[in-house]
Amino acid sequence: IHTHPQSHAGYYPGAQGMSLKLLVDPDTDAILGAQGVGGDGVDKRIDVIATAMVGGLTASELADLELAYAPQFGSAKDPVNMLGYVADNLRTGTTGTVQWHELAALVEAGAAVVDVRTPAEFALGSIPGAVNVELDQLRLRAAELPDGELIAVCQVGQRGHTATQLLRQLGRSVRNLDGGYRTWLAGQVPVDQFV
């Protein structure tokens, strides 16, 4: 599970982005590990997840943790809670996801990528071959989408989740790109750039 939250409430000055990755056993919902990259607050989130692992909490149970809240330190729904919500959606089958490294093979097999970001966001960079239908227009323009399996994508996965729910209600086979365009884009950077 990949998320890209802010270190604290976005309306409070100084919020910094972070990237979190949670490894979950799909059969038991057990937390297998986590990684975090960013500035302020990343250490806190990893500490909370490590404590949850030692305490035997499942990934879905992270959604119910009560964590300290103040706009300058954290959001009302902490980034750890958000990981738990995604885990619970996967556990219950509410949303199916695709990992960034699986996307090319799915497209080659006939799946279509539907980018639900705004046209301005899409113009700044997109997955090759993606069809751009902004989330706010998706219900009205659903008939324009290609037949077959769809992969919904947005910037970080949240709007993709909403698009997935909407399209499923319309009878479409659809999964969300986990972590969105930001995670996919990070996967395109050659490893030797980090050495």
Section 72-86 average pLDDT:
92
Q: Is CATH 3.40.50.300 the classification given to domain 2-92?
A: no
Superfamily of domain 97-187: Rhodanese-like domain (3.40.250.10)
Does 192 score more than 90 pLDDT?
Answer: no
pLDDT band per the 50, 70, 90 thresholds, residue 191: low
The answer, yes or no, to whether residue 194 has pLDDT greater than 90, is no
pLDDT tens digits along 29-48:
999 999 999 988 999 999 99
Residue 193 has pLDDT above 90, yes or no: no
Burial readout 151-161 (b: 16 or more C-beta within 10 A, e: otherwise): bbbbbbbbbbb
The region, left, alpha or beta by phi > 0 then psi within -120 to 50, assigned to residue 180 is: left
- pLDDT over 70 at 195, yes or no: no
pLDDT tens, 143-153? 999 999 999 99
Averaged pLDDT, 156-185: 96
What residue segments make up the domains of the chain, in order of their start?
2-92, 97-187
Instruction: Name which of 11-20, 54-63, 124-133 the model is least confident about.
Output: 11-20
What confidence score (pLDDT) does residue 89 get?
A: 95
